[in-house]
Every structure is written in C-alpha cells, then in structure tokens.
Structure 1
Amino acid sequence: MRYMLLIYVNEAAMAAAPTEKTYEISAAYGAYTEALKKSGSWLAGDRLKPTQAATSVRMANGKTNVLDGPYADTKEQLAGFYMIEAEDADAAIAWAARCPAASTGTVEVRPIWEQTM
C-alpha cells in the first residue's frame, strides 16, 4: 500500500538555524532517503519551497480567489513529502518515526486512496 509522509516543520526555526546545523539536517535527510531507497520503499519525495512561494486558490460564488502565501498561519508548515510503499500502517509509521522531522516537527502518515478506474 502507498502512503504519504507529510513533513511539517517550523520554517522560521529552520531559517534561523546555524549553517552547521543545516548541513547536519541535510545529511540526516540524505541518509534517510538512501535507507528508504535501499529498502525498496521509496517511490517519490522532495522538499517544498518556503510558504512565501505558495499560492492558495479557492472558488467562492463561481469566482477564483488567488492568495499569495499559505492558506493558514500555523506553527509548522508543510515542508516536504515522501511517497512510500509499505506493507501496512505500522510499517509506514515506523518509517515516519525514522524521518529526521519526527524529532523536530511532525510527520503525518496518510494512506493514499487508490483510484480504481
């Protein structure tokens, strides 16, 4: 079954992190990504640009409303994702627990609703 691991972190804290800490975090993600790939669980994944680069789109009364920035102000922002293949939810949760963001932010595990056509 496929799962999304949605990575939420505090953008302000990440931006304020010393360069050495940034390299350390980057290396941890590199090792985590390599472990996912080596296991055969990795399907896709990437970082997202900061929320200042986001655009939110809503339809209201037949009109398109376009807003610069994220939809809501929150302590943590969606910063990236992994799409993985896992035997079950417990296996996906185990991978989420190994993600570097699990120790500093939140990793949301969400099963993908498989479309049958």
Structure 2
Amino acid sequence: MHYSLLLHYPEHDASTLGDEAIQAGQAAFSAYTRALQDAGVLVSAEVLRHSTASTTIRKVDGELVVQDGPFADTKEQLGGTIIIDVADLDTAIEWARQAPPIEWGVIEIRPGATYTMNGVWTPNK
C-alpha cells in the first residue's frame, strides 16, 4: 500500500540555521532515504522549495484566482513528501518515526487512494 509522508516544519534557510545545521540536515535526509531504498519501500521523495516560491489557485464564483505563495498562513509549511510502499499503517508509522523532520516538525501519514504508473490508474490496496 502506498502511503505519503507529508513533512511539515518551520521554514528556515542557511542565514537563520547556519551552514553546519544545513549540512547536518542534508546528511540526515540522505541517510534516511538510503535506509528507505535499502528496505525496498521508497517510491519517491522530494524536498520542496520555500513556500514563498509556491503558487495557489482556486475558483471563486467560477473565475480562476491565482495567488503567489501558500494558501496556509502558519508557522509550519509542507516542506517535502516521501511516498513509500509498505504493508500497513503500522509499518508506515515506523518509517515516519525515523524521518529527520520528526525532530522539528510534524509528519502527516496519508494513505493514497489511487496511483498511476505509465498512465494506468490503480486502486491503492
């Protein structure tokens, strides 16, 4: 079953964290994704750019409204996603528990409903 690990945490950059903290975070993410790969459960992983680089769209009264930046105005933003393919929620929780952002943010575990491979939609079971 595919689970998305949605990584929510405060956004910082090198000027607020310092190079040493950035390098430590990158090393922790590298080790974590390597462990996921070695276990054969990693489907994909992506760290997202700062939320100020995002664009949010919605329809209001039938008209498309385009907004620079994120929709949510919170301390924590969606900072990345990791999709894993594991047997059950307990296993997904165990992998999420090991993700580096658990030390400074929140990890939302959400099961997928369907996924596509080569243009074919498949129910997530």
TM-score where L is the length of structure 1: 0.94
**Residue 119 of structure 2 aligns with which residue?**
none
Q: Which runs of 4+ in 1 moved over 4 A?
A: none
Query: In structure 1, what is the equivalent of residue 117 of structure 2?
Result: none
Structure 2: give runs of 5+ residues left out of the alignment. 115-121
Aligned-pair identity (%): 37
Q: Aligned partners of 1:5, 1:13: CA distance in 2, in Å?
A: 22
Which residue of structure 1 aligns with residue 6 of structure 2?
Answer: 6
Q: Which amino acid letter does the alignment assign opposite residue 112 of structure 1?
A: G
CA distance in 1, matches of 2:15, 2:78: 14
Structure 1's 17 and 2: CA in aligned 2 closer, same or farther, altered over 3 A? same
1:12 deviates by: 3.4
| TM-score in terms of structure 2 length | 0.88
Give the 3-state SS of the residue equivalent to 1:12 in structure 2: coil
Larger % of strand: which? Answer: 2
Runs of at least 5 residues in structure 1 that lack an aligned partner in the other structure? none
- Cross-structure match for 1:71: 71
Q: 1:15 to 1:71 in 2, by over 3 A?
A: farther
- 1:15–1:79 distance in 2 versus 1, CA, 3 Å: farther
Within 1, Cα distance between the matches of 2:43 and 2:84? Answer: 5
Change beyond 3 A, Cα 1:83–1:20? same
Structure 2 vs 1, CA of residues 29 and 18 (structure 1 numbering), >3 Å: closer, same or farther? same
1:31 corresponding residue in structure 2: 31
1:102 alignment partner in structure 2: 102
